[in-house]
């Protein structure tokens, strides 16, 4: 079995939460070739992002009354797990903080949100009727790998292995460029329209980011098929 983004125990989905859905859609359509449309079959009638007709994430407006006032723009990334209650228990036993307890998402699956011991937020997804993203390997513009830059990358890798019960093959844990300078956050590396070792983009969003940012990755960590790095601050 080939392990790739979307497999069990790998990241499988993202929710892009922004103050400017229209501007975000225009930016990412131009930058990465993503498409945006309301999913009429979704229980929330949510806006979905897709690459070559394959859904890769949702879009939410943090100005909506559904979010507390002052909620910052951010991207929620979801790990596919087999048993969400069991995985939440494993995560908290190894130092994670539970932010949102497991709940049902319209019969599509179950969600929980936590922060890991390094401070990075992540969500868990246990599928029912919706598995998450699915696309051919190397699809231009599609998720390729995840990257977490933090002060203790080896400890972070160990934490996620203990949480999911398996290594994350489609994720990289690297040392932060400036230890302690900022709260770690997961970043997504996507394949660009022309695939070379330098033509990837890394996307991130945090409290200081009005919109997600996509830019060429720079630097050093060689991986099969390309160079994987987080976005610069």
Q: How would you write 20-51 as a 3-class SS string?
A: CHHHHHHHHHHHHCCEEEECCCCCCCCEEEEE
pLDDT at 131: 86
Whether the predicted pLDDT of 160 surpasses 70: yes
Q: What is the pLDDT of residue 3?
A: 57
For the cut 70, the answer to whether the pLDDT of residue 53 exceeds it is yes
pLDDT, tens digit, for every residue of 20-45? 999 999 999 998 899 999 887 766 67
Confidence check: pLDDT of 140 > 90: no
Per-residue pLDDT, averaged over 122-150, amounts to 91
Distance CA 10, CA 74 (A): 20
d(CA 113, CA 22): 26
Name the average pLDDT for the chain: 81
Q: How many CB atoms lie within 10 A of CB 95?
A: 14
The structure's pTM equals 0.81
Domains and CATH numbers, the chain: 11-127 (3.10.180.10), 143-227 (no CATH)
Average pLDDT over residues 142-155: 94
């Amino acid at each position: 079995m080939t392990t790739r983004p979307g497999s069990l125990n790998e990241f499988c989905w993202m929710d892009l939460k922004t103050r400017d859905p229209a501007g975000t859609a225009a930016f990412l359509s131009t930058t990465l070739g993503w498409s945006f449309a309301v999913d009429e079959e979704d229980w929330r009638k949510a806006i979905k992002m897709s690459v070559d007709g394959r859904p890769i994430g949702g879009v939410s407006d943090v100005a909506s009354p559904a979010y507390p006032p002052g909620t910052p723009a951010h991207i929620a990334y979801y790990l596919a797990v087999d048993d969400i209650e069991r995985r939440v228990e494993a995560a908290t036993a190894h130092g994670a903080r539970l932010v949102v307890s497991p709940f049902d998402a319209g019969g599509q699956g179950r969600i929980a949100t936590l922060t890991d011991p390094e401070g990075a937020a992540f969500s868990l997804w246990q599928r029912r009727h919706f598995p998450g993203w699915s696309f051919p390997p190397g699809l231009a513009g599609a998720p390729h790998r995840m990257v977490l830059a933090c002060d203790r990358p080896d400890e972070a890798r160990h934490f996620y292995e203990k949480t999911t019960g398996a290594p994350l093959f489609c994720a990289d844990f690297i040392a932060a460029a400036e230890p302690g300078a900022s709260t770690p956050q997961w970043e997504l590396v996507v394949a660009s329209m022309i695939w070379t070792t330098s033509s990837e983009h890394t996307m991130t969003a945090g409290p200081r980011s009005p919109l997600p940012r996509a830019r060429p990755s720079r630097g050093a960590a060689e991986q099969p098929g390309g160079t994987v790095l987080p976005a610069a601050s």
